[in-house]
Amino acid sequence: DGGITQSPKYLFRKEGQNVTLSCEQNLNHDAMYWYRQDPGQGLRLIYYSQIVNDFQKGDIAEGYSVSREKKESFPLTVTSAQKNPTAFYLCASSATGVPYNSPLHFGNGTRLTVT
Amino acid sequence: KQEVTQIPAALSVPEGENLVLNCSFTDSAIYNLQWFRQDPGKGLTSLLLIQSSQREQTSGRLNASLDKSSGRSTLYIAASQPGDSATYLCAVQNNAGNMLTFGGGTRLMVKP
């Protein structure tokens, strides 16, 4: 079955530590995305990548970093510079970046708690 | 900057009712609009995608309409079932790139 795998499902970290969230897809999709979801709010785009070795900042990139060394993988690092990192993080992919009419496919998310 | 609003934030209906969820957006220059379903603690599942040139899309008991000029979309759910209980989010994709702007969602509960 093709899909997007996010791991771990729950992650706990102490303040000041960097943490990396994993996202792997076997859909052969070109584009991948990271979103953050806070209670009662819509999703906000952190970073996206339309092709290997290229990525762009979204609306709330400060305190986050990404890499796209392989088509299948788009890990997100939450650094200590992120002021309010506790949230639900969702990874998504789409078949193509251009044209834009390909639906997004989402993973099941990672809930990060920083204390 | 595109803003997407979903009202109401929460809705509770008895099983069997037909219902309409609303989505409004401020910038009508969109490329497409998508409706998603999210179960608690899970990711989003794409339900319907309406291209800007289309007026509606249907899938089973779901029908989504799009009125670009008025900046509105509706998701119609016929004969609601308890299994339809979830949060429904709409998102618009603008013409400038791949960015999707999401609404805050409507949390639907269908009571048996």
Q: Give the integer Cα–Cα distance in Å for A110 and A41.
A: 16
Beta bridge mates, B34: B49, B91
User: pLDDT (tens digit, 9 = 90+) per residue, B46-93?
Assistant: 999 999 899 999 999 999 999 999 999 999 999 999 999 999 999 998
Chain B residues with beta carbon closer than 8 angstroms to that of A90:
43-44
Instruction: Answer yes or no: do A58 and B99 touch at CB < 8 A.
Output: yes
Confidence (pLDDT) at A42: 82
Confidence (pLDDT) at A98: 52
Residue the block writes with tokens 């409004």:
B24
Distances (CA, A) of B37 to A23, A38, A84, B44, B85: 20, 16, 26, 6, 9
Instruction: Answer yes or no: do A103 and B42 touch at CB < 8 A.
Output: no
Confidence (pLDDT) at B97: 64
Mean pLDDT of A3-9: 94
User: pLDDT (tens digit, 9 = 90+) per residue, B22-54?
Assistant: 999 999 989 899 999 999 989 999 999 999 899
